[in-house]
Amino acid sequence: MKGVLRSSAAFCMAATVTVQPLAAEMVTELGDGEGALNIVAWPGYIERGETAADFDWVTGFEEATGCTVNVKTANTSDEMVALMNEGGFDLVTASGDASLRMVAGKRVQPINTSLIPSWNAIDDRLKEAPWHFVDGTHYGTPYMWGPNILMYNTEIFGDSAPTSWNVVFEEMNLPDGQSNQGRVQAYDGPIHIADAALYLMTHKPELGITSPYELNQEQYDAALDLLRVQRTLVSRYWHDAFIQIDDFKNEGMAASGSWPFQRNLLQGDGAPVSSVFPKEGVTGWADTTMMHVDSENPNCAYMWMEHTLSSNLMSDLSVWFGANPAVPAACTDGRGKQTAEGCTANGFDNFEQVRFWTTPVSRCESQEECVPYYRWVSDYIGVIGGR
């Protein structure tokens, strides 16, 4: 009985095992496609024109390579890790809070960049990003990234667009003369504690925070205190992008942390919203295509990684999802629908201001000991519950 329970909880343990790079076998040369490719992906990441006919970056790949693409969508990073632990997949579009777990859990294999002709087209800022480049080894091909922007209602703010996250963290009167109380939102996930920490980096430098994901007890408590103030301002936390879109339309919301995805959809509907990169900087997410250690279709997998970098995929996906391509040329060379203006709007030029999501662990790099993620979860639940 104990054994069963132990194995069922194995994937949870993988989350906290320290990162230990390994010298797994790397593919050294490519052959013909195996005829199939199985990918674990976020919803909306692998589109074949079925949701909207204009957005298709699979059919062309299948015709060119003969690899039939099967997609299994996963809604959380934990689900992705669990699916990869089960096996039977070739690739996964892992976010920063899942990628290192899978490297540590030996679920993914190193990538031979010389087998990916377009590797050099990748944004230099991403080529050796710490969420997939571990101890000199590449564990994946950068896919997409996006910032968590400050979205606001242009009718309420008028000409004076907000410049700081203070509109969602501290009580104040907005340019329309009314209080922000009940008119701002915050992300309904523990990772939002990092947004509070990021704000404190500017406003309380004496705390000495160097990374919003690596907080000691004192820094962490300060972030929670700030979030308790925020609780008095927030009427509802957002969790689902479409609910936030609805709230900006029907609940008279003034400002909130958000994704370019919601802003694009709202603007597409003619809603009076816009967004800024506040002066404190922003948090964000970056995803990587990683390859299963026991991939049965390695040739198709490498072909897909090349496809992500060289085809219309990056360009169209960045429009579709309101995110930024890992290949800068995809913004400008017209291979898909994305334009330079679109990339700018999605925050392409603000990369340096983005602190990308990673899972907080107790043995952190920047200081002695940090508050681990599972405490972020329970404490954020407490904050939202009014504690």
Selected from 106, 125, 203, 236, the binder of other proteins by CB under 8 A is 236
For position 379 contacting other proteins by CB under 8 A, the verdict is yes
**Could you identify the residue written with the tokens 């004192």?**
218
CB of 234 to other proteins, least distance (A): 7
Selected from 16, 164, 216, 339, the binder of other proteins by CB under 8 A is 16
Nearest 5°: the CA angle 265, 266, 271 is 150
For position 270 contacting other proteins by CB under 8 A, the verdict is no
**Exposed/middle/buried for residue 7 (C-beta within 10 Å: 0-12, 13-18, 19+):** exposed
Site for other proteins in 53-112 (CB under 8 A): 76-79
For position 12 contacting other proteins by CB under 8 A, the verdict is yes
For position 384 contacting other proteins by CB under 8 A, the verdict is yes
- What distance in Å separates the CA atoms of residue 102 and residue 81, rounded to the nearest whole number? 7
Nearest 5°: the CA angle 124, 126, 130 is 130
Q: How many CB atoms lie within 10 A of CB 103?
A: 26
Residues 6+ apart with CB under 8 A from 180: 167, 168, 171, 172, 173, 174, 233, 254, 255
Provide the residue count of the chain: 387
**Which of 190/257 has CB closer to other proteins?**
190
**Which of 183/355 has CB closer to other proteins?**
183
Site for other proteins in 168-227 (CB under 8 A): 181-183, 188-190
| φ/ψ bin of 37: left (φ > 0), alpha (ψ from -120 to 50), beta (otherwise) | beta
Residues 6+ apart with CB under 8 A from 256: 150, 151, 168, 184, 185, 186, 238, 244, 248
**Which of 58/186 has CB closer to other proteins?**
186
- What distance in Å separates the CA atoms of residue 69 and residue 61, rounded to the nearest whole number? 9
**Which of 80/305 has CB closer to other proteins?**
80
**Which of 165/238 has CB closer to other proteins?**
238
For position 229 contacting other proteins by CB under 8 A, the verdict is no
**Which of 32/155 has CB closer to other proteins?**
155
**Binding-residue pattern over the window 113 to 152 for other proteins, x denoting contact by CB under 8 A:** ----------------------------------------
CB of 248 to other proteins, least distance (A): 11
At residue 132, the 3 state secondary structure works out as coil
For position 251 contacting other proteins by CB under 8 A, the verdict is yes
Site for other proteins in 272-311 (CB under 8 A): none
Helices 260-268 and 241-250 cross at an angle (nearest 10°) of 50
Summarize as ranges the residues that interact with other proteins (CB under 8 A).
Answer: 1-2, 4-6, 9, 12-13, 15-16, 76-79, 181-183, 188-190, 234-237, 239-240, 243, 246-247, 249-252, 361-362, 372-374, 377-379, 381-382, 384-387
